[in-house]
């Protein structure tokens, strides 16, 4: 409870002091280190600290805005050149060039990237203002926690998709909206203009060869590795056991099976989890399935807009429909109908957009960033529970939204839809 006799900035400072003390207490009780930017620091706080973390981040962000001139705050929030540095780091995989626990000179990095040393130095020094790399002595580059994370090729692929594929789409989103007002098409987007193509992003990935497809699938797996997108939420917060023995699941748009594997590992009653995705994505995905799961995980090239051909008990759509406009979501849902048995489940795991101010502001901002990203790249959007309900009703009134679960800590809600049709 904030003290009304204090000024707003003093209230915020008091919140920060009190909530930081809670975080320190939780960490001390568990024998965990205090957060640090050091390259070997653990990246996340325990779940128990989540409420205090929310309070501190929101208070610190408001304090930052209050203590800045409005134009300087807007300029920083715009941050349009932050991505140049991040793109450079990702394209050349500069993190992998910096030794763990060591340092490397700007001159060395310039030689290995073939970029002019003075330009590279400026780009990396700008990244350092975001705590990506540090300069422990003049002319030398060393890791921070963030740059070290990017040494993982998967993390670098994630940053590369963000800066090479998504960023140009954002830059041209408004132009696309003016060129194609009201369009529902995935190839009339900021992405199409930004990449000078008449294809959708998936058309580009499908035709772009295995390197781009794998990079995209890898980036998706990295998203899933962030705590709030953990596959554990669908493993633990949906009652799979209630579906009975020998349950067959189709993971529609399941990429290279990272969630399917977690499901099969977590629930022995799932007799099979069939991963459907674009041919270029599922090609060779078998190789990533551990021997113990091989008999229960399979992959199949399938266009999710084409009629479903596999009879199953559950059709699981994780993070698929937010990539499509309402028009296409309706087509995708209707494409499942030919094989649906009465009582079959459609499980949709997607963001349920909050009303403004309903969740901590930094989390709301992350969700709204995703929403705009969906608009720029796909002409799609994130939806509230009411919008999900309307979408299902538009696709077919026999899709009955039975339950919505929003596990604490998860960025994605779980919508259980039951097919109320007859044989
Ligand atoms: C945002 S990713 C989600 C992947 C995975 N379900 C997850 O939660 O991490 C969307 C997936 O849809 C797949 N996809 C896009 N268009 C498709 C199509 N026409 N047919 C089949 N899969 C498609 C992509 O290849 C990608 O794997």
Q: How far, in Å, are 57, 214, 329, 417 from residue 391 at the CA level?
A: 34, 31, 8, 12
Q: What is the crossing angle of helices 82-91 and 117-128, to 10°?
A: 120
**Which ligand 1 atom sits closest to the C-alpha of 223?**
9
**Which ligand 1 atom sits closest to the C-alpha of 255?**
27
Q: Give the SS3 label for residue 385.
A: helix
Q: Is the CB of 201 under 6 A from ligand 1?
A: no
Lookup: tokens for 293:
């799961």
- pTM for the full model? 0.90
**Which ligand 1 atom sits closest to the C-alpha of 205?**
25
How far, in Å, is the centroid of ligand 1 from the Cα of 306?
A: 14
Residue nearest to ligand 1 atom 14, measured at CA:
253
Q: Is the CB of 224 under 6 A from ligand 1?
A: yes
How far, in Å, is the centroid of ligand 1 from the Cα of 289?
A: 18
**Which ligand 1 atom sits closest to the C-alpha of 349?**
8
Averaged pLDDT score across all residues of the chain: 94
How far, in Å, is the centroid of ligand 1 from the Cα of 275?
A: 10
* pLDDT band of 228, cuts 50, 70, 90: confident
Please compute the mean of the pLDDT values over residues 56-69 and round it to a whole number: 97
pLDDT exceeds 90 at position 218? no
Q: Is the CB of 277 under 6 A from ligand 1?
A: yes
**What is the 8-class DSSP label of residue 338?**
G
pLDDT exceeds 70 at position 337? yes
Please compute the mean of the pLDDT values over residues 258-269 and round it to a whole number: 96
Radius of gyration of the chain (CA): 23
Q: Is the CB of 319 under 6 A from ligand 1?
A: yes
Question: What are the tens digits of pLDDT across the range 364-414?
Answer: 999 999 999 999 999 999 999 999 999 999 999 999 999 999 998 898 999
How far, in Å, is the centroid of ligand 1 from the Cα of 145?
A: 30
CA atoms within 13 A on the CB side of 270: 25
pLDDT exceeds 90 at position 223? no
Q: Examine the predicted complex and report whether its ipTM is higher than 0.95.
A: yes
How far, in Å, is the centroid of ligand 1 from the Cα of 250?
A: 13
The span from the CA of 107 to the CA of 122, in Å, is 13
The span from the CA of 323 to the CA of 382, in Å, is 8
pLDDT of residue 1: 59
**What is the 8-class DSSP label of residue 295?**
T
pLDDT exceeds 80 at position 96? yes
How far, in Å, is the centroid of ligand 1 from the Cα of 126?
A: 34
Q: Is the CB of 255 under 6 A from ligand 1?
A: yes
The span from the CA of 203 to the CA of 236, in Å, is 34
* pLDDT band of 340, cuts 50, 70, 90: very high
**Which ligand 1 atom sits closest to the C-alpha of 320?**
10
Q: Is the CB of 261 under 6 A from ligand 1?
A: no
Question: What are the tens digits of pLDDT across the range 155-207?
Answer: 999 999 999 999 999 999 999 999 999 999 999 999 999 999 999 988 887 77
Lookup: tokens for 115:
């970029």
Q: How far, in Å, are 47, 219, 388 from residue 409 at the CA level?
A: 8, 21, 21
pLDDT exceeds 70 at position 208? no
Q: Is the CB of 263 under 6 A from ligand 1?
A: no
Residue nearest to ligand 1 atom 15, measured at CA:
202
Q: Is the CB of 59 under 6 A from ligand 1?
A: no
pLDDT exceeds 80 at position 217? no
How far, in Å, is the centroid of ligand 1 from the Cα of 260?
A: 13
Question: What are the tens digits of pLDDT across the range 298-310?
Answer: 999 999 999 999 9
Q: What is the distance of C-alpha 229 from the center of its chain?
A: 7
pLDDT of residue 55: 98
Residue nearest to ligand 1 atom 24, measured at CA:
253
* pLDDT band of 277, cuts 50, 70, 90: very high
pLDDT exceeds 90 at position 3? no
Residue numbers annotated as active site? 322
Q: Is the CB of 220 under 6 A from ligand 1?
A: yes
* pLDDT band of 4, cuts 50, 70, 90: confident
Please compute the mean of the pLDDT values over residues 10-27 and round it to a whole number: 98
Lookup: tokens for 67:
């203590």
Q: Is the CB of 329 under 6 A from ligand 1?
A: no
């Amino acid at each position: 409870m904030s003290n009304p006799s204090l000024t707003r900035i003093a209230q915020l400072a008091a919140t920060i002091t009190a909530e930081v003390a809670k975080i320190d207490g939780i960490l001390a009780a568990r024998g965990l280190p205090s957060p640090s930017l050091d390259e070997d620091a653990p990246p996340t706080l325990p779940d128990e600290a989540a409420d205090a973390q929310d309070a501190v981040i929101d208070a610190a962000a408001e304090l930052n805005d209050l203590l800045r001139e409005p134009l300087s705050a807007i300029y920083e929030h715009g941050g349009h050149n932050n991505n140049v540095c991040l793109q450079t780091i990702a394209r050349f995989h500069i993190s992998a060039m910096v030794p763990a626990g060591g340092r490397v000179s700007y001159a060395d990095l310039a030689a290995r990237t073939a970029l002019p040393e003075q330009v590279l130095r400026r780009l990396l020094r700008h990244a350092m203002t975001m705590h990506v790399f540090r300069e422990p002595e003049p002319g030398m580059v060393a890791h921070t926690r963030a740059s070290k994370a990017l040494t993982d090729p998967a993390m670098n692929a994630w940053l590369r998709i963000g800066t090479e594929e998504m960023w140009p789409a954002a830059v041209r989103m408004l132009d696309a909206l003016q060129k194609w007002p009201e369009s529902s098409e995935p190839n009339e987007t900021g992405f199409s203009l930004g990449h000078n193509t008449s294809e959708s992003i998936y058309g580009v990935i499908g035709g772009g060869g295995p390197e781009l497809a794998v990079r995209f699938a890898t980036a998706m797996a990295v998203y899933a590795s962030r705590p709030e997108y953990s596959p554990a939420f669908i493993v633990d917060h949906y009652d799979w056991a209630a579906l009975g023995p020998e349950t067959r699941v189709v993971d529609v748009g399941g990429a290279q099976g990272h969630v399917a594997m977690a499901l099969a590992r977590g629930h022995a009653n799932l007799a099979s989890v069939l991963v459907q995705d674009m041919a270029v994505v599922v090609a060779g995905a078998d190789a990533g399935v551990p021997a113990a799961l091989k008999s229960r995980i399979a992959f199949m090239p399938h266009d999710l807009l084409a009629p479903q051909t596999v009879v199953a008990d559950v059709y699981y759509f994780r993070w698929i429909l937010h990539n499509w406009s309402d028009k296409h979501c309706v087509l995708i849902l209707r494409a499942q109908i030919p094989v649906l048995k009465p009582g079959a489940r459609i499980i949709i795991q997607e963001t349920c957009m909050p009303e403004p101010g309903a969740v901590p502001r930094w989390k709301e901002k992350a969700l709204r960033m995703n929403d705009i990203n969906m608009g720029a790249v796909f002409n799609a959007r994130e939806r509230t529970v009411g919008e999900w309900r309307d979408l299902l009703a538009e696709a077919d009134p026999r899709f009955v939204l039975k339950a919505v679960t929003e596990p604490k800590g998860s960025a994605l809600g779980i919508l259980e839809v039951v097919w109320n049709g007859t044989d």
